[in-house]
Amino acid sequence: MDVLGEGLLEALRLLLTGDEDTWAITALTLRVSLGAVLIAVLLGVPVGSLIGLRRFRGRRMLHAVANTGMGMPPVVVGLFVTVLLWRSGPLGSLGLLYTPTAMVLAQAVIATPIVIALTAAALQQVDPDFVLQMRGLGATRLRALGALFMEARLPLLAAGTAAFGAVVSEVGAAQMVGGNIAGETRVLTTAAVLATSRGQFALAIAFGLVLLLIAFAVNLVITVAQHRQTVDR
């Protein structure tokens, strides 16, 4: 109990006094994870939309793969990306291993199936005649599609936040492809693991608190959005 209590106090002190290292790590965490989510959205929303709206050969297979990918262990992703980027690996000449770029890549691989699967689900829950009715009112294909995305905006927002939540909290891939180099590739999760293994519980708790804070802020956004949409019956 002592360790926990003292750790908490120390953690708060670290955060409130604006410990430079902590904030630098937080900033890198956000940069890496937001970058990964951006890539995942750019790839996942179009693919998820195709799965959700079109019938084509291999659609079910793709959907199944995306659904499976949602539960992909980050360590496995980290392993594959590491092998790819390894000096003697296929992409080794790029020299990306142990850089934030490599971490963005690995986390994008984790986040993309989540965005694909949740985008498909978000669009499938809209009335199947929605686009047809919008076109029947005079909408061009593009405008009808825009109306569809507006209609599904909440579940789509949830897809993005789920992806962000998954990558900001993962440690395996970040550790493997980033290497947890101080000042370069150290993010909140890898820093917390290191501090804990060194017995620096206060520091580890501080990192944990910041992670929680980020998670809370993200969920606050979506909760507020949901409540604005909820209506009294």
Partner 1 sequence: MSIGCRELVVAAGGRVLVAVPALDVAAGETLAVLGSNGAGKSTLLRALAHLGSAAQSGTVVLDGHAATTAELRRAVAAVLQRPVLQRTSVIDNAAAGLRLRGVRRREARRRAEPWLDALGIAHLATRHARTLSGGEAQRVALARALAVRPRVLLLDEPFTGLDATTRADLLADLRAAVDRQQPAVLLVTHDRQEARSLAQRTALLVDGEVRQIGRTADVLDAPADLECAALLGFTTQLPPALTGRETTLVARPEHCSPLVGSAPPPPGSVVVDGVLRRLVPLGGAIRLDVDTATGPATAVTTTDITATPGTTIQLAIPREHLRECAPPPP
Distance of alpha carbon 186 from alpha carbon 178, whole angstroms: 7
Residue 182 burial (10 A CB sphere; 0-12, 13-18, 19+): exposed
The least CB distance from residue 227 to partner 1, in Å, is 13
The least CB distance from residue 230 to partner 1, in Å, is 9
The least CB distance from residue 144 to partner 1, in Å, is 7
Neighbour tally for 189: CB within 10 Å: 25
Site for partner 1 contains 228 (CB under 8 A): no
Distance of alpha carbon 33 from alpha carbon 161, whole angstroms: 11
Site for partner 1 contains 223 (CB under 8 A): no
Selected from 68, 93, 125, 133, the binder of partner 1 by CB under 8 A is: 133
Specify the stretch interacting with partner 1 by CB under 8 A; choose among 3-11, 36-44, 142-150, 214-222: 142-150
Site for partner 1 contains 222 (CB under 8 A): no
Distance of alpha carbon 133 from alpha carbon 148, whole angstroms: 11
Site for partner 1 contains 127 (CB under 8 A): yes
User: Based on CB atoms, which residue is closest to partner 1, 43 or 139?
Assistant: 139
Helices assigned H by DSSP within 54-140: 59-69, 74-85, 100-124, 130-136
Enclosing H/E stretch for 148:
helix 141-151
Residue type, 111: A
Distance of alpha carbon 11 from alpha carbon 115, whole angstroms: 34
Site for partner 1 contains 144 (CB under 8 A): yes
Neighbour tally for 147: CB within 10 Å: 18
Site for partner 1 contains 224 (CB under 8 A): no
Q: List the x/- string, 72-111, binding to partner 1 by CB under 8 A.
A: ----------------------------------------
Binding-site ranges for partner 1 (CB under 8 A): 127, 129-130, 132-140, 143-144, 147, 150-151, 229, 231-233
